[in-house]
Structure 1
Amino acid sequence: MDEANAARPGLSVDWRSLLSLALATVLLAAGLFLAWQTWLVWRADSGAEQADRVRATTVDALAKQIRQTTERVRAALASPSVQQVLAGDGALDHAAAAAALKEALPEASDAQFFSPNLDEVLAGDLKTLGYAKAAALMQARMHPEHPPAEMRTDADKVQRLMMAQPAAAGGRLRAYAVVELPFAPILDTFNAASIDGAQLQLRQGDGRGDLQIASVGAGRAVPSEDLGVPVPGSSLRVGKAEPAYFIVVPRSVALLSVLTLLSLLGGGFALWLRQVGVQRAVAMLQRPSQAKIQEITLVEAIQQQPEPAAKSAAAKPAAPASNEPVHVDASMFRAYDIRGVVGQGLTYDVARLIGRAVGSEARERGLKEIVVGRDGRLSGPELVRALIDGLRSTGMDVIDIGAAPTPVTYFANYHLHTGSGISVTGSHNPPDYNGFKIVLGGETLSEGAIRDLHARIVENRLVDGHGGLQAIDVGADYIRRIGDDVQTERRLKVVVDCGNGIPGAFAPAVLESIGCEVISLYCDVDGTFPNHHPDPSDLHNLEDLITVVKHEKADLGLAFDGDGDRLGVVTPSGEVIFPDRLLMLFAIDILTRNPGATIIYDVKCTGHLQPVILQHGGSPLMWRTGHSLIKSKMRETDAAMAGEMSGHFFFGERWYGFDDGIYAAARLMEILAADPEGRTPQQIFDTLPKGVSTPELKIPMREGEHYRFIEAFREQARFDGARLTTIDGLRADWPDGWGLVRASNTTPVLVLRFDADNSAALARIQDLFRAQLKALDPALPMPF
């Protein structure tokens, strides 16, 4: 060693200086970076805390202003001049009442009176009246004590504060008044908020897809998941968005502590080097250990630790089934369900792992039992066997109901009191597809909950146990339950086309049990679907049904998809009754028994649906497409009914709230057979509003590209004079029609639909959308 050093004089000194300088530089850079990030974190948190305080103060100020304005309107309605008009004998002079109210309330820009039974809404022309005014009147009728005020923009683009109030005299309701007042004072109150380091937004809506009215504070705000704080007495909300600070480290104090500790250790290491010398330190660090240390992963290290005696077996991480890891494709875990191609992404081992993941999630939720059913696909029995094996390996007790439509599996969840179930189904997809629709504890898993199952498999967060298995047939109970609830007042002849899907084993029996004469078409279950694909949303699949309905002189034709949760309808004239028009009929029927009930529909439904619901005393609510998303919204709003353009119908009244095409068919036949005038189904459908519309149009894209396209389209598209809805893609509504483009959550395509009062309006709206789509991507193929 001395000879080597003598040959290379000064080596020890140079290495020590160089290493010390490098360590000092690294520690200084780390310290500066940490200080910068800490300052940014403090700045962001400080801004967020200030925003919360300012928002609370602003909401209080706005609520006080709304309350005072409402009190002024009510005081004006109680003034002697208005009361004198309201108390008059005979029919109310609406013009005189409006003049008296404007005199008592000089700041009002407009005042109108409407009859106490709101005939102007329920039977009038809503385009002339205005949908916003109609909705405000219905809110005043349903919530007379606290009808909400809202902002509306008039024809001159001037913002007004509109509120509807009941107008009484002598202790009886004489009318409803709609008053419009300046919105500027509300804006002044909001704009007076002083905030730094964040942004406040004045919005209108229910927290999803709100209309942003104004903002104050930092202009460089990022999109926020904040739903906003509602302003009492109004439909306004105050939302919050934080600035786009570039913060690399999390806000965790623990991480800052770790970084601080590493800095101290680094400093200690540098001091140690000065004491022992670099060459000695290198020699010590390179000294071989007496026992070779095997490198393992963090998961393996945790698994090798002894388990505490008190720890439950259900929480023990499961060891891999074999040395060969099973690849589980993340793309199968979609927004509403899990779906893949059998033999490729979806294999026996993958299905077993999915069972283990679902079972592990269920056990963590405190659940013990789960129902499993399957559709008629050839791959069903093998996938069910793998799924049940995986579920039982986690300690779940499984009830196998065999081959049954998805709604029957949902029914079994209630009938057998499990609250949990899995339907193994490929729905309307080609025969080589299959998948899983999952309900746990009454919640239909969707979006994040579906993706978490994949993460659970990847991270091996799987539990062990020994679950039981029993087989129970609930088919007869399902048929009996519907037959006990629904009966037709006259016998109707109906052709039932099940496309060789599993509904063929149930739908004819259900319809016969309620008193219908049934002609079966393709009702023998065959997983190869030899006649046509079981998808009633594809009009080509309805051609045979239309032919048979005409030949048999039947009253109606009914079509079901592959697992029975969707319904299609055709008339003897060959007309396809689209699901949004069926929803009108269902809503009218339900609202006769449940006035004021909420009716939910998805963004693909016709613009004629909202006024029909309003006219019959209901509360319409547009929501995102997707059966699991609709069911979640139904639970949140306690809605009586929901429907999608795809043919999913959800009955909360007299049923369980899940989508059931077979039950929907029974309810439809009940309504048609009970018509007091004895009209044919075609005559009844002819009374429903109908415009000119397109079916769903699709533009294929690469996986994931359709989501990116929609985000860019939302940002760049401009539709002057339209009311925009962005809860699911972008929908633009004009007085005479609307257009929609959204990203499908099941396949990588853009979905478009157009609906208008006439062909000219439809062509105009399509031209506007075509121009905006081409502006974003000139090469985009147009299906219209």
Structure 2
Amino acid sequence: MSIDKKVFRAYDVRGIVDQGLDESLVYDIGRAIATRYDDMQSCMLGRDGRLSSLRLADALSDGLQSAGVQVVDLGEVPTPVLYFAAHEYGQGCGLMITGSHNPPHYNGVKMMVGKHTLAGDEIEALYHDIVKGNFKKGHGNYRSFNVLEPYIDKVVSDISIPHPFRLVADCGNGVAGPYVVALFEALGCELHCLYCDIDGNFPNHHANPSDENTLVDLVAAVKKTQSEIGIAFDGDGDRLGVVDELGNIIRPDRQMMVYAQDVLQDQKGACIVYDVKCSSHLPAIIEKNGGKAHRCRTGHSYIKSMLKQSDALLAGEMSGHIFFNDRWYGFDDALYAAARLVEICADSADRCSAIFAKLPHGVDTPELNVHLKDEGDQHTFMEHFLKEARFNGAKLDYTDGLRVDYKDGWGLVRASNTTPCLVLRFEADNENRLNEIKDIFRKQLLSID
């Protein structure tokens, strides 16, 4: 059987629809999961709003049922809402058809089994199972379930907004839109919406808040409406972008500093996990407030696994995945993270910008992408780079790619797990040093054939 192995990635299945990812493969993924995890009796199924998601979800449902699994179809839901339903109403098993933040012609499958997100070798094992073709047979069944009201009720029962709070939400025409509207209206906020209707063509901009170019409309709307804060979501609602009332973009590692301070107020000694792309000021803030900082490789599955291993109360990464294990379930939920941030800001005497201005900061870059030609080229390049690159006088961290830490700054290069590109980021005490570190990396990168 001919299968494109490249769609079986580090922490999900993802590829171009009808070019490596189609109904036949997704049907077999359902059969393979049900066979490998043969104690699975029921599974929650969700999908985003992409044009291909319904037919892929139907194929996945058919595959699960053919192996004897009861499918509970949630319809169009954000990924964290699927996780919520799996925790609250199922065996902790959920499959989500989503292309996340990728362009409209991509799609994929995120997989949770027994409250554990599949990643790495577990996903590769599914590929080999499909190649072998030995699937369990059974007669599952199907039912639908509307989880909107239970999810909103659960968040509202945890979050307290002491007074009406004005904010703008840009959902990028992704699947989070209806849930964001329902949530913040239920919380008593004055909500101004941008692109909160679901449209699988994504006609306004990519639903990718880590690309700061997609936040231009949000910045303008926050200023025009004189809102306290702006929030943005990716295509499946598990990543968060934030803008303060002045239009400043608040990157996720700085969001994490505020979340960490909040969690550690009452939970001294708690562990907090962050990924290799985060600011060096984040672990300093964690430790200053009595917490334990743990650096982890990038990827929502890896972050979630480290959170469980260390019993951390909070985790996050620069892409905008935020995981609260304090008052919440420990999975990445951008809607809940946004509600927690609104709660913090509404409860403070300071404006949003003043809250973040009190945090330590240097000069940094957003995530920078160097695009390569073909899928897999990024991993080949990094193999050569790790063997040949030389950084004298620095501390080297190979947790994920290569992070090079100096006393006054750092740089990182790693292979993307979702697209054929290299991901870089830099931070330093001042602009001159930032440029020096970038130049060091540039020379090393260009030296690789």
TM-score tier after normalising by the smaller chain length: over 0.9
The question of whether the paired residues in 1 share the 8 Å contact of 2:257 and 2:286 is answered with yes
Aligned to 1:738, what secondary structure does the other structure show? strand
Amino acid at match of 1:679: D
1:256: which partner in 2? none
2:142: which partner in 1? 469
| CA apart distance, 1:767 | 1.4
1:726-756 Cα distance to aligned partner (Å, 9 max, x none): 1101101112110001111111211111011
Match of 1:763 among 435, 438, 447: 435
Match of 1:723 among 395, 398, 405: 395
Counterpart Cα distance in 2 of 1:361 and 1:475:
31
Counterpart Cα distance in 2 of 1:756 and 1:765:
8
2:40: which partner in 1? 367
The question of whether the paired residues in 2 share the 8 Å contact of 1:362 and 1:368 is answered with no
1:489-536 Cα distance to aligned partner (Å, 9 max, x none): 222200000011111010121122223211111101111111111111
| CA apart distance, 1:462 | 1.0
Counterpart Cα distance in 2 of 1:615 and 1:539:
30
1:280: which partner in 2? none
Match of 1:680 among 329, 351, 358: 351
2:15: which partner in 1? 340
| CA apart distance, 1:713 | 2.1
2:208: which partner in 1? 535
Counterpart Cα distance in 1 of 2:420 and 2:193:
35
1:547: which partner in 2? 220
1:348-378 Cα distance to aligned partner (Å, 9 max, x none): 2222111111111221xx2211100011111
| CA apart distance, 1:696 | 1.2
| CA apart distance, 1:484 | 0.2
| CA apart distance, 1:343 | 2.2
Amino acid at match of 1:713: F
1:708: which partner in 2? 380
Counterpart Cα distance in 1 of 2:429 and 2:393:
17
Do structure 1's residue 446 and structure 2's residue 119 form an aligned pair? yes
2:193: which partner in 1? 520
| CA apart distance, 1:776 | 2.6
| CA apart distance, 1:415 | 1.2
1:104-133 Cα distance to aligned partner (Å, 9 max, x none): xxxxxxxxxxxxxxxxxxxxxxxxxxxxxx
Counterpart Cα distance in 1 of 2:204 and 2:447:
42
Counterpart Cα distance in 1 of 2:381 and 2:280:
25
Counterpart Cα distance in 2 of 1:328 and 1:353:
11
1:94: which partner in 2? none
Amino acid at match of 2:6: S
1:40-82 Cα distance to aligned partner (Å, 9 max, x none): xxxxxxxxxxxxxxxxxxxxxxxxxxxxxxxxxxxxxxxxxxx
Across the aligned residues of Structure 1 and Structure 2, the Cα RMSD in angstroms comes to 1.1
2:307: which partner in 1? 634
Do structure 1's residue 742 and structure 2's residue 414 form an aligned pair? yes
Amino acid at match of 1:354: I
Match of 2:31 among 352, 356, 380: 356
1:659-718 Cα distance to aligned partner (Å, 9 max, x none): 01100000000111111xx11111111111221111111122333232232223223222
TM-score (norm: length of structure 2): 0.98
The question of whether the paired residues in 1 share the 8 Å contact of 2:43 and 2:90 is answered with no
Counterpart Cα distance in 2 of 1:341 and 1:710:
24
The higher relative CO (CA closer than 8 Å, separation ≥ 6) is in 2
1:603: which partner in 2? 276
Counterpart Cα distance in 2 of 1:522 and 1:773:
39
Match of 2:64 among 367, 372, 391: 391
Match of 1:591 among 255, 258, 264: 264
User: Which one has the bigger helix percentage?
Assistant: 1
Aligned to 1:635, what secondary structure does the other structure show? helix
Do structure 1's residue 643 and structure 2's residue 316 form an aligned pair? yes
Tell me the number of residue pairs that the alignment of Structure 1 and Structure 2 aligns: 448
Counterpart Cα distance in 2 of 1:533 and 1:712:
32
Amino acid at match of 1:452: A
Match of 2:367 among 678, 696, 699: 696
The question of whether the paired residues in 2 share the 8 Å contact of 1:738 and 1:756 is answered with yes
Amino acid at match of 2:403: R
Counterpart Cα distance in 2 of 1:531 and 1:698:
22
| CA apart distance, 1:461 | 2.3
Trace 1:260-299 onto structure 2 (pairs within 5 A).
none
Amino acid at match of 2:416: S
Q: Matched residues, percent identical?
A: 50
Counterpart Cα distance in 1 of 2:81 and 2:398:
34
Trace 1:199-214 onto structure 2 (pairs within 5 A).
none
Counterpart Cα distance in 1 of 2:163 and 2:358:
21
Counterpart Cα distance in 2 of 1:608 and 1:737:
10
1:659: which partner in 2? 332
Counterpart Cα distance in 2 of 1:452 and 1:625:
21
Aligned to 1:506, what secondary structure does the other structure show? helix
Do structure 1's residue 377 and structure 2's residue 55 form an aligned pair? no
Do structure 1's residue 492 and structure 2's residue 165 form an aligned pair? yes
Spell out structure 1 runs of 4+ moving beyond 3 A.
Answer: none
1:416: which partner in 2? 89
Amino acid at match of 1:718: R
Counterpart Cα distance in 2 of 1:527 and 1:461:
35
Counterpart Cα distance in 2 of 1:384 and 1:563:
14
Compared CA separation, residues 554 and 745, structure 1 to 2 (3 A): same
Counterpart Cα distance in 2 of 1:613 and 1:628:
22
2:184: which partner in 1? 511
The question of whether the paired residues in 2 share the 8 Å contact of 1:583 and 1:643 is answered with yes
| CA apart distance, 1:563 | 0.2
Counterpart Cα distance in 2 of 1:666 and 1:572:
16
Aligned to 1:699, what secondary structure does the other structure show? strand
Trace 1:245-324 onto structure 2 (pairs within 5 A).
none
Aligned to 2:10, what secondary structure does the other structure show? coil
The question of whether the paired residues in 2 share the 8 Å contact of 1:591 and 1:618 is answered with yes
Aligned to 1:533, what secondary structure does the other structure show? coil
Match of 1:564 among 237, 253, 265: 237
Aligned to 2:156, what secondary structure does the other structure show? helix
Counterpart Cα distance in 2 of 1:657 and 1:641:
8
Counterpart Cα distance in 1 of 2:4 and 2:28:
12
Counterpart Cα distance in 2 of 1:504 and 1:463:
38
Amino acid at match of 1:367: M
Counterpart Cα distance in 2 of 1:342 and 1:766:
37
2:247: which partner in 1? 574
2:424: which partner in 1? 752
Counterpart Cα distance in 1 of 2:99 and 2:415:
20
Counterpart Cα distance in 1 of 2:258 and 2:59:
43
Aligned to 2:242, what secondary structure does the other structure show? strand
- Structure 2: which 5+ residue stretches go unaligned? none
Amino acid at match of 2:365: T
Do structure 1's residue 433 and structure 2's residue 106 form an aligned pair? yes
Amino acid at match of 2:303: I
The question of whether the paired residues in 2 share the 8 Å contact of 1:602 and 1:644 is answered with yes
The question of whether the paired residues in 2 share the 8 Å contact of 1:535 and 1:561 is answered with yes
- Structure 1: which 5+ residue stretches go unaligned? 1-324, 778-784
| CA apart distance, 1:721 | 2.1
